[in-house]
């Protein structure tokens, strides 16, 4: 497949799939390589005679997240340099930061008039960026299904290029973009409504025609006492645990939370803690653990009377690739526990 | 009535999307209340003091909708719109 025939595809990958490294390489700044790298090679083969991957652009997930505007502009510039007809971002599967970056990259390029497609799991926070410019193919949460994901992304690409789409998003293998198309159906709305209600009442499955949004809106709570009288607790989803991880907090897809004592501790010692958050990174690159859980500063504020007190335990889980329903349950459980401890307010840190 | 909480994160836009009410912009993904890998310990602590103090102010403030603060947010402006 030469560069000058058929579909010119450029692929966007993160530091891991681009072969730079794991979490420790997440600050990789964007760069471009000729030809396919990593999973883009499979994509290139799968395109067959229809075209090929002429270039791969790589960017670290943390670099993208922390410099979003600049990173997106640079990634876009690099992608356009290779003169693509098609852009494939990811797929990101369950990775939240990667999914977010893929969604930004794909929709941005789609707006320049080039077909862009990405893929991710239905719980990926990247889907929060859904717009009419974003084509996202559903995938599992695990990169073990790469081959299947690429196959279905290309199926969508071919349909979109041939403008062969019959029915809605789900019929064509992508997440609904919120675009409403008028479709003439035989059965009127009143009949469809009653039919749906009868199915619901009978406990049968039914498909809603308009899906309500998922995330609930919790009204903000108020501090019931002055801050100087409030007992404040620290909670982190950064997976900060005593060295040795005594309760075996998983670094990803956790369903558990734990509490550890900081009674009498006014400064977290680097050797006493490690971080369970993501697959490969450990605490070494993080230095002072107070940079994730600000015990040192909270003790100062406690001593100075700014807060009534710092609770003697801190709460921890690992939010990395955490399933939404577990996050909700864990939040409720921790909240309930904190209530029993007369904790009045919480500082939550996120990595 | 729930527990008032403030989330310190380097990704405030994500926090907004999932419905957090009080959001304090932190510095970096890997160390939300740390300055940088190369800062001196006291510079780091000063930054941390700054952002945590601001976060506590946000915690104590009455908010009626999702609110994002950064270390530069002028509280006076916010409480007297």
How distant is the Cα of B34 from the closest Cα of chain A, in angstroms? 4
d(CA B55, CA A347): 8
Can you tell me the mean pLDDT for B45-62? 94
pLDDT at residue A175 greater than cutoff 60: yes
Characterize A276-285 residue by residue with b for buried, 16 or more Cβ atoms within 10 angstroms of its Cβ, and e for exposed.
Answer: bbbeebebee
Using pLDDT thresholds of 50, 70 and 90, give the confidence band for residue A92. Answer: very high
Give the list of residues 6+ apart from residue A229 with CB closer than 8 angstroms, or none.
A308
How distant is the Cα of B15 from the closest Cα of chain A, in angstroms? 10
How distant is the Cα of B2 from the closest Cα of chain A, in angstroms? 5
Nearest to B9 among A232, A344, A350 (CB): A350
Nearest to A307 among B2, B56, B66 (CB): B56
d(CA B18, CA A252): 19
Give the list of residues 6+ apart from residue A190 with CB closer than 8 angstroms, or none.
none
d(CA A1, CA A24): 35
Torsion angle (degrees, nearest 10) of CA B59, B65, B70, B71: -40
d(CA B15, CA B70): 14
Please answer yes or no on whether B11 and A350 come within 8 Å at the CB atom.
yes
What pLDDT score was predicted for residue A256?
A: 95
The tokens 């996120």 sit on which residue?
A: A350
Q: Tell me, yes or no, if A232 comes closer than 8 A to chain B by beta carbon.
A: yes
Instruction: Specify the 3-state DSSP secondary structure of A167.
Output: coil
Please answer yes or no on whether A351 and B31 come within 8 Å at the CB atom.
yes
Q: Tell me, yes or no, if A220 comes closer than 8 A to chain B by beta carbon.
A: yes
Please answer yes or no on whether A291 and B48 come within 8 Å at the CB atom.
yes
Do the strands A115-120 and A240-242 form a parallel or antiparallel pair, or are they unpaired?
Answer: unpaired
Instruction: Specify the 3-state DSSP secondary structure of B76.
Output: helix
What pLDDT score was predicted for residue A25?
A: 95
> Which positions in chain B touch A221 (Cβ < 8 Å)?
1-5, 21
What pLDDT digit, counting tens, does each position of B6-45 carry?
Answer: 999 999 998 998 899 999 999 988 889 998 877 888 999 9
Characterize A318-327 residue by residue with b for buried, 16 or more Cβ atoms within 10 angstroms of its Cβ, and e for exposed.
Answer: bbbbbeeebb
Nearest to A306 among B4, B56, B62 (CB): B56
Helices (H) and strands (E) in chain B, counts: 3, 3
Nearest to A255 by CA among A166, A320, A307: A320
Instruction: Specify the 3-state DSSP secondary structure of A213.
Output: coil
- Nearest-by-CA chain A residue for B10: A66
H helix intervals, chain B: 12-18, 41-60, 75-79
pTM of the predicted model, to two decimals? Answer: 0.64
Q: What percent of chain A has pLDDT over 70?
A: 95
How confident is the prediction for chain A on average, in pLDDT? 92
Q: Tell me, yes or no, if A298 comes closer than 8 A to chain B by beta carbon.
A: yes
Question: ipTM score here?
Answer: 0.91
What is the gyration radius of the CA atoms in chain A, in angstroms? 24
If you count them, how many residues does chain B have? 81
Whether the CB-CB separation of A285 and B30 falls below 8 Å is answered with yes
The tokens 């599967």 sit on which residue?
A: A93
d(CA A302, CA B49): 12
What pLDDT score was predicted for residue B75?
A: 55
Read off the DSSP letter of residue A170.
G
- Nearest-by-CA chain A residue for B55: A347
pLDDT at residue A215 greater than cutoff 90: no
Nearest to A8 by CA among A56, A42, A70: A56
Instruction: Specify the 3-state DSSP secondary structure of B19.
Output: coil
Q: State how far the alpha carbon of A28 is from the alpha carbons of A23, A325, B28, in Å.
A: 10, 32, 14
> Which positions in chain B touch A218 (Cβ < 8 Å)?
2, 19, 21
d(CA A250, CA A239): 8
> Which positions in chain A touch B21 (Cβ < 8 Å)?
218-221
Using pLDDT thresholds of 50, 70 and 90, give the confidence band for residue A212. Answer: low
Please answer yes or no on whether B17 and A128 come within 8 Å at the CB atom.
yes
What pLDDT digit, counting tens, does each position of A116-145 carry?
Answer: 999 999 999 999 899 999 999 999 999 999
Interface test with A, best of B1, B6, B10, B11 (most A CBs within 10 A): B11
Q: Tell me, yes or no, if A165 comes closer than 8 A to chain B by beta carbon.
A: no
Whether the CB-CB separation of A122 and A170 falls below 8 Å is answered with no
Residues of B within an 8 Å Cβ radius of A: 1-11, 13-15, 17-19, 21-22, 26, 28-34, 37, 41, 44-45, 48-49, 52-53, 55-56, 59-60, 62-67
- Nearest-by-CA chain B residue for A291: B34
């Amino acid at each position: 497949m030469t560069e000058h025939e058929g579909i010119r595809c450029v692929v966007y990958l993160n530091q891991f799939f681009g072969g730079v490294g794991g979490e420790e390489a997440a600050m990789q700044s964007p760069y471009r390589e000729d030809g396919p790298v990593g999973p883009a090679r499979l994509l290139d083969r799968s395109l067959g005679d229809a075209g090929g991957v002429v270039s791969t652009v790589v960017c670290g997930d943390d670099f993208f997240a922390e410099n979003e505007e600049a990173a997106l502009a640079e990634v876009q510039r690099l992608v356009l340099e290779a003169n693509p007809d098609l852009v494939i971002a990811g797929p990101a599967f369950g990775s939240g930061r990667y999914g977010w970056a893929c969604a930004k990259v794909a929709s941005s390029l789609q707006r320049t008039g080039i077909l862009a497609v990405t893929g991710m799991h239905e719980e990926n926070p990247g889907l929060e960026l859904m717009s009419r410019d974003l084509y996202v193919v559903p995938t599992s949460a695990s990169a073990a299904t790469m081959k299947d994901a690429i196959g279905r992304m290309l199926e969508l690409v071919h349909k979109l290029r041939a403008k062969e789409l019959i029915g809605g998003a789900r019929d064509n293998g992508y997440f609904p973009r919120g675009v409403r198309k008028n479709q003439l159906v035989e059965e009127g709305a009143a009949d469809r409504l009653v039919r749906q209600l009868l199915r619901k009442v009978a406990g049968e499955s039914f498909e809603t025609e308009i899906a309500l949004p998922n995330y609930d809106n919790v009204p903000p709570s108020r501090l019931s006492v002055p801050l100087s009288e409030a007992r404040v607790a620290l909670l982190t989803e950064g997976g900060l645990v005593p060295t040795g991880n005594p309760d075996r907090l998983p670094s990803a897809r956790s369903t558990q939370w734990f509490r550890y004592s900081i009674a009498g501790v006014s400064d977290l010692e680097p050797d006493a803690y490690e971080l369970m958050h993501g697959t490969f990174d450990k605490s070494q690159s993080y230095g002072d653990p107070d940079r994730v859980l600000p015990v040192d500063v909270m003790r100062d504020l406690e001593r100075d009377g700014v807060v009534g007190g710092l609770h003697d335990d801190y709460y921890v889980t690992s939010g990395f690739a955490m399933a939404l329903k577990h996050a909700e349950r864990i939040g409720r459980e921790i909240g309930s526990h904190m209530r029993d401890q007369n904790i009045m307010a919480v500082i939550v840190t996120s990595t | 009535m729930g527990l008032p909480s403030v989330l310190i994160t380097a990704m405030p836009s994500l926090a907004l999307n999932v419905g957090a009410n009080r959001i304090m912009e932190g510095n970096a993904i890997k160390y939300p209340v740390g300055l940088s890998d190369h800062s001196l310990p006291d510079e780091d602590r000063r930054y941390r003091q700054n952002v945590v103090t601001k976060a506590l102010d946000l915690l104590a403030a009455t908010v009626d909708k999702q609110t994002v603060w950064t270390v530069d947010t002028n509280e006076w402006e916010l409480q007297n719109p």
